[in-house]
Structure 1
Amino acid sequence: MFAYVVAAACAVAVVVVASLVVRRLRSTSDDNDPGGPTVAHAGSIISALFLIAFAIAIVVPWTTADAARLNTYSETQAIAEASWAAADFPAPAAQTVQAGLRDYAQFVRTTEWPLMAHGRLAGEGWSRLEEMRRGVSALAMDGDQAKDAQDAVLGHLSEISAARRQRAMDAAASPPPGLIVITVLTGLAVVVLPLLGGARPRGWALAPLTLMAGLLGVGIFLTMDISHVFAGALAVTPDAFANVLPELQRISFSG
């Protein structure tokens, strides 16, 4: 943030110096017109900066949310595949592993999901996966089919862990704080610039200015509301885990 302040101060200093130099080297005239070149130039640049910042503040969270949503389905797909592979284990190992996978999916859906709105995952989720991995690795398997099933389950558990790490990164992800600040400041500048330039709207002239200010306010609030993947208007919901639970139940019965 300090670097941003320094950059802004340097830009202001350049304007002041350039203004003094131009006044000394050539004759100039005062520009007091609200529709004059100074206000028009500043307005176009500020509007462009606002649009750029606003677009980035919308697109980045939207893209991150889509990727995070797809990742949750990848994680639950790996859970289902692990449950199918565990069906080839001898009893009672098959039922134990499948029950652990169901409990993990239920834990993520009900206990862990609210925590992700605050940018973190529950440590218990990692413990559950590590316990399942150790348990499957410790199983003594007889026959090629059982050993292949063991390798498959361990592979799917690795996929679940990888998807979980990605979910942890998505939960902690947010746009740079400076981006939201720039969006707010440029939005305010767009609204007040005509007034700072000397315009004094009256009557119906206030209507478009008021409408613009209201829409800008809604837009800026939207950028704040969608800045987190698992909270706000674009929040990723635990639908993938809710949908996989009945499938895991069917796999247990069919196995």
Structure 2
Amino acid sequence: MVAYALSILAAGGVVLLAALLFRLVRRAEDDRDPGGPSAGHAGAMLSALFLLVFAIAIIVPWTTADAARQNTHVESQAAIDAYWAAEALPAEDARQVRSALRDYVTFVVRDEWPLMAQGRMDPVGAARMDTLRNRVGDFKVSGTDQEDAKSGLLDHLASISAARAQRAADAAATPPDGLLLLTILTGVMVVVFPFLAGARPRGLTLMPMLAMAGLLGFGVYLTWDISRAFDGPLAVGPDAFRGALQEFARIGGGM
């Protein structure tokens, strides 16, 4: 934060120094017109800066939510693949694995998803996956088919754990520090700049200003509202996991 403040002071110092030097080395007229070159240049640059910051504040959460949505499909598909792979195991082992997978996916949809809106994950989910992987690793199998099934199942469970870790990162992800504050500051500057430049709108000329201020306020609120991948208008839902539960029922016939 200190570096940010120093950079702002340094930029202001450059403006003051440039104004002093140009006043000393060449003759120039005072620019007091709200529509003059100084105000016009500063206003255009402020608008461009706001648009740049606003675009970043929108694009970063959008791409994060899109990646998080794709990752939920990766995790749910890995769970489906694991459910299929369990079929070649001994009957009791297959039943245990499939039951554990159904319980895990149900837990994610019912219990864990509300926590992810707050940027958190439930450690119980990771513990369940660790327990299942250890249990599968201890299975006693015989024959090439069962050995291959066990190996493939462990690979799918590893994929679930990896996708789960990425989901945890997606849930905790937020835009860069200071981006929301910079969006607010530049938005406020765009609104008050005409007044700082000396303009005094009256009557109907205030209407465009009010409309602009309202839309800017909504835009700034939107950047805050979409800052988390699993909360807000862009929130990623558990649709992929609900689909996995339906696929489980279709594959196992309720097993």
**TM bucket normalised to smaller:** over 0.9
**Secondary structure at the counterpart of residue 87 of structure 1:** helix
Instruction: Could you tell me which runs of 5 or more consecutive residues in structure 2 were left unpaired when the two chains were aligned.
Output: none
Query: Post-superposition shift, 1:27?
Result: 2.2
**Partners in 2 of 1:251 and 1:134 — Cα distance?**
24
1:158 aligns with 2:158: yes
1:170 aligns with 2:185: no
Amino acid at match of 2:32: N
**Aligned-residue RMSD, C-alpha:** 1.2
Match of 1:57? Answer: 57
Query: Post-superposition shift, 1:29?
Result: 2.3
**Partners in 1 of 2:24 and 2:193 — Cα distance?**
28
Match of 1:6? Answer: 6
Query: Post-superposition shift, 1:4?
Result: 1.2
**Partners in 2 of 1:94 and 1:253 — Cα distance?**
13
Match of 2:125? Answer: 125
The answer to whether the Cα contact below 8 Å between 1:119 and 1:171 also exists between their aligned partners in 2 is: yes
Match of 2:142? Answer: 142
1:23 aligns with 2:19: no
Query: Post-superposition shift, 1:6?
Result: 1.1
Instruction: Could you tell me which runs of 5 or more consecutive residues in structure 1 were left unpaired when the two chains were aligned.
Output: none
Query: Post-superposition shift, 1:16?
Result: 1.2
**Partners in 1 of 2:117 and 2:225 — Cα distance?**
12
Amino acid at match of 2:28: T
Report the TM-score when normalising by structure 2: 0.97
**Secondary structure at the counterpart of residue 83 of structure 1:** helix
**Partners in 2 of 1:9 and 1:234 — Cα distance?**
37
Quick one: percent identity of the two aligned structures?
53
Match of 2:223? Answer: 223
Amino acid at match of 2:116: M
How do residues 1-255 of structure 1 correspond to structure 2 at under 5 angstroms?
Answer: 1-253=1-253
How many residue pairs are counted as aligned between the two chains? 255
Query: Post-superposition shift, 1:254?
Result: 7.6
**Partners in 1 of 2:13 and 2:206 — Cα distance?**
34
Query: Post-superposition shift, 1:23?
Result: 1.7
**Secondary structure at the counterpart of residue 60 of structure 1:** helix
Amino acid at match of 1:55: A
The answer to whether the Cα contact below 8 Å between 1:95 and 1:252 also exists between their aligned partners in 2 is: no
**Partners in 1 of 2:184 and 2:135 — Cα distance?**
52
**Partners in 1 of 2:88 and 2:238 — Cα distance?**
29
